[in-house]
Amino acid sequence: MTPDEMAHLHAAAFAGQGRAWGEREFAGLLRSGHVFVVGDSRAFAVVRALADEAEVLTLATHPDHRRHGFGQSVLSLLEAEAARRGATRLFLEVAEDNAAARALYAGAGYRETARRAKYYARPDGVHSDALILEKHLR
Print pLDDT tens along the chain (138 aa).
Answer: 899 999 999 999 988 776 789 999 999 999 988 999 999 999 999 999 999 999 999 999 999 998 898 999 999 999 999 999 999 999 999 989 888 899 999 999 999 999 999 988 777 888 888 999 999 997
Architecture in CATH for domain 3-136: 3-Layer(aba) Sandwich (3.40)
Q: Which of 96, 105, 110, 120 is catalytic?
A: 105
pTM over 0.85: yes
Longest CA–CA separation in the chain, Å:
41
Q: Residues 129, 125, 60, 13: is their CA dihedral positive or negative?
A: positive
Which residues are CB-contacts of 78 (< 8 A; sequence separation ≥ 6)? 36, 38, 45, 47, 54, 56, 59, 90
Q: What is the pLDDT of residue 94?
A: 93
Amino acid at 100: A
- Quote the pLDDT of residue 20: 82
Q: Residue 97 — φ and ψ, nearest 5°?
A: -85, 5
What does the pLDDT read at residue 18? 67
- CA-CA-CA-CA torsion sign (99, 81, 4, 91): positive
pLDDT reported for residue 138: 78
How is the chain split into domains, by residue range? 3-136
Q: What residues contact residue 89 under an 8 Å CB cut-off, 6+ apart?
A: 52, 53, 54, 134, 135, 136, 137
- Number of Cα atoms under 13 Å in the Cβ half of residue 55: 9
For the question of residue 112 being annotated catalytic, the response is no
Phi then psi for 110, rounded to 5 degrees? Answer: -80, 145
Please pick, among 5, 25, 81, 93, the residue that the annotation labels catalytic.
Answer: 93
Q: Is 23 a catalytic residue?
A: no
Predicted local distance difference test score (pLDDT) of residue 8: 95
